[in-house]
Amino acid sequence: MYSAKVMEHFQNPRNVGEIEDADGVGEIGNPVCGDIMKLYIKVKDGRIIEAKFKTFGCGAAIATSSMVTELVKGKTLEEAKKISRNTVAEALDGLPPIKMHCSNLAADALQKAIEDYKNKRNAKDQK
Amino acid sequence: MYSAKVMEHFQNPRNVGEIEDADGVGEIGNPVCGDIMKLYIKVKDGRIIEAKFKTFGCGAAIATSSMVTELVKGKTLEEAKKISRNTVAEALDGLPPIKMHCSNLAADALQKAIEDYKNKRNAKDQK
Amino acid sequence: MRKIYLDHAATTPVRSEVLETMLPYFNEKFGNASSIHGFGRDAKVALEEAREKVAKILDASSSEIFFTGGGTESDNLAIKGTALANRKKGKHVITSKIEHHAILESCKFLEKEGLEVSYLPVDSKGLVDPEDLKKAIRGDTILVSIMYVNNEVGIIQPIEELCKIAKDRGIYFHTDAVQAMGKIAVDVQKLNVDMLAMSGHKIYGPKGVGAIYIRKGVRIIPLSHGGQHERSRRAGTENVPAIIGFAKALELVNKELESQNKHQKNLTKAFYKRLIESIPHMILHGDLNRRIPNTLNLSFKGVEGESVILSLDTKGVAVASGSACTSGTLEPSHVLSAMGIDPAIAQGAIRFSFGRDNTMQDVEYVAGILPEIVQRLRSISPLYAKKE
Amino acid sequence: MRKIYLDHAATTPVRSEVLETMLPYFNEKFGNASSIHGFGRDAKVALEEAREKVAKILDASSSEIFFTGGGTESDNLAIKGTALANRKKGKHVITSKIEHHAILESCKFLEKEGLEVSYLPVDSKGLVDPEDLKKAIRGDTILVSIMYVNNEVGIIQPIEELCKIAKDRGIYFHTDAVQAMGKIAVDVQKLNVDMLAMSGHKIYGPKGVGAIYIRKGVRIIPLSHGGQHERSRRAGTENVPAIIGFAKALELVNKELESQNKHQKNLTKAFYKRLIESIPHMILHGDLNRRIPNTLNLSFKGVEGESVILSLDTKGVAVASGSACTSGTLEPSHVLSAMGIDPAIAQGAIRFSFGRDNTMQDVEYVAGILPEIVQRLRSISPLYAKKE
Ligand SMILES: Cc1ncc(COP(=O)(O)O)c(C=O)c1O
Ligand SMILES: Cc1ncc(COP(=O)(O)O)c(C=O)c1O
Q: Give the residue extent of every domain in chain C.
A: 4-12+257-379, 16-255
Per-residue model confidence (pLDDT) at position C322: 64
Per-residue model confidence (pLDDT) at position D324: 43
pLDDT value at C211 more than 80 = yes
Q: How far apart are the first and last CA of chain D?
A: 34
pLDDT digits (tens, 9 = 90+) for D6-55: 999 999 999 999 999 999 999 999 999 999 999 999 999 999 999 999 99
Cβ(D295) – ligand 2 distance below 6 Å:
no
pLDDT value at B63 more than 50 = yes
Q: How many residues does chain D have?
A: 388
Superfamily of domain D4-12+257-379: Aspartate Aminotransferase, domain 1 (3.90.1150.10)
Q: Cα separations (Å) of C117 from C103, C111, C143, C326, D366?
A: 11, 7, 10, 22, 60
User: Are D75 and C237 spatial neighbours (Cβ–Cβ below 8 Å)?
Assistant: no
User: Are D290 and D127 spatial neighbours (Cβ–Cβ below 8 Å)?
Assistant: yes
Cα–Cα nearest to D218, from D79, D101, D119 = D79
Please indicate whether, in this complex, the C-beta atoms of C226 and D106 are within 8 angstroms of each other: yes
Mean pLDDT on B63-82: 96
A120/C81 Cα distance (integer angstroms)? 58
Per-residue model confidence (pLDDT) at position C326: 46
Cα–Cα nearest to B70, from B9, B7, B2, B27 = B9
Q: What percent of chain D has pLDDT over 70?
A: 97
Query: Which residues of chain C are within 8 Å of residue B33 when distances are taken between CB atoms?
Result: 330-331
| Nearest Cα residue in chain D from A38 | D382
Mutate to test the interface with C, among D76, D107, D231, D237 (most CBs of C within 10 A): D237
Average per-residue pLDDT for chain D: 95
Per-residue model confidence (pLDDT) at position D385: 82
D224/D230 Cα distance (integer angstroms)? 11
Q: Residue B34: pLDDT band by 50, 70, 90 thresholds?
A: confident
Residue C243: half-sphere exposure toward Cβ, Cα within 13 Å: 29
pLDDT value at C327 more than 50 = no
Per-residue model confidence (pLDDT) at position C385: 82
Interchain CB contact of C347 with B (< 8 Å): yes
C58/C271 Cα distance (integer angstroms)? 32
The alpha carbon of C326 and the centre of ligand 1 are apart by a number of angstroms equal to: 12
Q: Residue C295: pLDDT band by 50, 70, 90 thresholds?
A: very high
Query: Which residues of chain D are within 8 Å of residue A55 when distances are taken between CB atoms?
Result: 380-382
Query: Which residues of chain A are within 8 Å of residue D303 when distances are taken between CB atoms?
Result: 56
pLDDT value at D125 more than 80 = yes
C323/D32 Cα distance (integer angstroms)? 11
Q: Residue A100: pLDDT band by 50, 70, 90 thresholds?
A: confident
Mutate to test the interface with D, among A58, A64, A99, A101 (most CBs of D within 10 A): A58
Per-residue model confidence (pLDDT) at position B31: 76
Per-residue model confidence (pLDDT) at position D250: 98
**What 3-state DSSP class applies to D47?**
helix
Per-residue model confidence (pLDDT) at position C159: 98
Q: Residue D386: pLDDT band by 50, 70, 90 thresholds?
A: low
Cα–Cα nearest to D246, from D193, D318, D197, D174 = D197
Cα–Cα nearest to C285, from C161, C151, C133 = C151
Interchain CB contact of C222 with B (< 8 Å): no
A98/D329 Cα distance (integer angstroms)? 8
pLDDT value at B32 more than 80 = no
pLDDT digits (tens, 9 = 90+) for C4-39: 999 999 999 999 999 999 999 999 999 999 999 999
Mean pLDDT on C47-51: 98
C142/C84 Cα distance (integer angstroms)? 10
Per-residue model confidence (pLDDT) at position D287: 84
Per-residue model confidence (pLDDT) at position B26: 97
Per-residue model confidence (pLDDT) at position C324: 43
Q: Residue B83: pLDDT band by 50, 70, 90 thresholds?
A: very high
Cβ(D75) – ligand 2 distance below 6 Å:
yes
**What 3-state DSSP class applies to D135?**
helix
- For the four alpha carbons of D275, D276, D281 and D287, in that order, the dihedral sign comes to positive
Residues sharing a CB contact under 8 Å with residue D291, sequence separation 6 or more, in sequence order? D153, D154, D155, D156
Tell me the ligand closest to C147's alpha carbon. 1
pLDDT value at D330 more than 70 = no
Residues sharing a CB contact under 8 Å with residue D333, sequence separation 6 or more, in sequence order? D152, D321, D322, D323, D326, D346, D349
Per-residue model confidence (pLDDT) at position D224: 94
Mean pLDDT on C69-76: 98
Integer-rounded Cα Rg, in Å, for chain C is 22
Q: Could you tell me which residues are beta bridge partners of residue D66?
A: D212
Q: Could you tell me which residues are beta bridge partners of residue D350?
A: D298
The alpha carbon of C352 and the centre of ligand 2 are apart by a number of angstroms equal to: 41
pLDDT digits (tens, 9 = 90+) for D265-304: 999 999 999 999 999 999 999 988 899 999 999 999 999 9
Quickly name the fold that domain C16-255 has. Answer: Aspartate Aminotransferase; domain 2 (3.40.640)
D235/C325 Cα distance (integer angstroms)? 9
